[in-house]
Amino acid sequence: MISIIIPMYNSEKYILDALRSALVQDVDKEIIVIDDCSTDNSLKTVLDYVNNNHNVLKDKTRIIVRKNSKNLGVAKTRNLGVDIAGGEYVAYLDADDMWTSDKLFRQLEFIKKTNADICNTSREIIDENGKSLGCVIGFEEERITLRDLKRSNYINCSSVLAKKELMKRYPMKHDKDAHEDYYVWLTALKEGAKACNINEPLLKYRNLKNSKSHNKLRAALMTFKTYRYAGYGFINAIFMMPAYMINGVRKHKRL
């Protein structure tokens, strides 16, 4: 079984798009939605949807809805989802993103074929209203190595299918001043984990103006701290930054 983890904070405008795209996945699955103390109607929106569609939801899908007792941030909320998860694999989906209907089936087949620990896909960029911006960001090779990952974070969290055991071993952290997911991928691959890649846009990634990645200077500083948290020395982290910035410029130009 695959446990789909959806952290949610003030996402009432988008959460049903994410939830519906998880529900249509043709795999044995459970969906874990965790509200991180939203101040809008995110939680009510999810609960109303589940209650109103109780009779038509697929029998194989169990939906768990939780609310944190206090705001924990996205890293601890995802980790809580992993702790709750009953599946052999976990898939992360941010509340403002969406998947194509065949995403998890194809990833599950590919991760078994390659004996990888993490499976990534390309992403199609959409605007706040869900309209395609005509931009696809991805990685061409079927395997993502540590050398590749040091140049840029080619693994997008909302695209990831990973073995639960791996994610329990490498919990996310440092989401206040670094990229919590990039930290995990770097650390895991540094210690021998394998990452595979499907170079097709099975993720629809919403480009929001208030996201961490939208502020390029802040994103660069967070990337430098991510390298440091992942165990790279100050000098090494400095030398790793030019490749990150070049890849960042290429992505920005496509947007």
Say how far apart CA 139 and CA 121 lie, in whole Å.
8
Helix (H, G, I), strand (E, B) or coil at 192: coil
Closest among 171, 159, 186, 1 to 74, alpha carbons compared: 171
pLDDT at 231 (0 to 100): 94
Question: How much is the pTM?
Answer: 0.93
Closest among 150, 32, 133 to 92, alpha carbons compared: 32
212 — pLDDT class (breaks 50, 70, 90)? low
- Residue 60 burial by CB count (10 A; 0-12/13-18/19+): exposed, middle or buried? exposed
pLDDT at 239 (0 to 100): 92
- List CB contacts of 91: < 8 A, sequence separation 6 or more: 2, 3, 4, 5, 104, 107, 160, 161, 162
pLDDT over 80 (residue 224): yes
200 — pLDDT class (breaks 50, 70, 90)? very high
The domain ranges of the chain are 2-209
pLDDT over 60 (residue 213): no
Q: What percent of the chain has pLDDT over 90?
A: 85
Average pLDDT over residues 216-243: 93
pLDDT at 217 (0 to 100): 87
pLDDT over 90 (residue 208): no
Architecture of domain 2-209 in CATH? Alpha-Beta Complex (3.90)
Average pLDDT over residues 58-81: 91
- List CB contacts of 179: < 8 A, sequence separation 6 or more: 153, 212, 219, 222, 223, 226
Lowest pLDDT segment from 16-30, 129-143, 197-211, 223-237 = 197-211
252 — pLDDT class (breaks 50, 70, 90)? low
pLDDT at 53 (0 to 100): 81
pLDDT at 134 (0 to 100): 92
For helices 216-229 and 180-190, what crossing angle results, to 10°?
A: 30
Rounded to the nearest integer, the mean pLDDT of the chain is 93
216 — pLDDT class (breaks 50, 70, 90)? confident
pLDDT over 70 (residue 114): yes
Say how far apart CA 195 and CA 224 lie, in whole Å.
22
Q: What is the dihedral of CA 68, 72, 78, 79, to 10 degrees?
A: -100
Position 157: which residue type?
Answer: C
Average pLDDT over residues 7-34: 96
Average pLDDT over residues 151-169: 97
254 — pLDDT class (breaks 50, 70, 90)? low
